[in-house]
Amino acid sequence: MRVVIQRVSEASVSIEGRVAGKIGHGFLILLGIVPEDSQTDIDWLVGKITKMRIFPDDEGKMNRCLTDVDGELLVVSQFTLHAGTKKGNRPSFIKAARPEVAIPLYEQFLATAEKELGKACARGEFGADMQVSLVNDGPVTITMDSHARE
């Protein structure tokens, strides 16, 4: 699994003009899934994401995590995070998991995050044409890959 984590002051995802998910202060998570992903990848990523200390403390240092600031999560599936760009100018998406594999993993990711945070996560709609809006706070943007563990 690959994620792009953006610390936001607000974010939303719309589908056909309707807001499907919206948050205030927290993280917008773009989530890319490959067929090899499992609950182990989910557990590692959710643990890192919820405990990542990238919110400022009283002195302005990045010392607080999502739970410390009662932050929210908006999770949007994004197969393009696994785009292959080595050959030619048209990206290949063959590494991304097919919907029959990716949808259950996306739902498991959300369920695990909700359990860890103790509250619901906002979400997009898997496979939909979505418009994502955000105000990146900082800006702070971090990428992670559960297979590289970095």
112 among known catalytic residues: no
108 among known catalytic residues: no
Q: Alpha helices of the chain — where are they, by DSSP H?
A: 39-51, 99-117
- Considering 6, 27, 55, 78, which one is annotated as catalytic? 78
DSSP, collapsed to helix, strand or coil, labels residue 79 as helix
The one-letter amino acid code at 98 reads: R
CB 81 within 8 A of CB 32: yes
- Considering 6, 27, 55, 79, which one is annotated as catalytic? 79
Token pair, residue 17, equals 């003009």
55 among known catalytic residues: no
Query: 122-123 and 18-23 as β-strands: parallel, antiparallel, unpaired?
Result: unpaired
CB 54 within 8 A of CB 62: yes
- Considering 80, 93, 141, 143, which one is annotated as catalytic? 80
**Catalytic amino acids?**
78-80
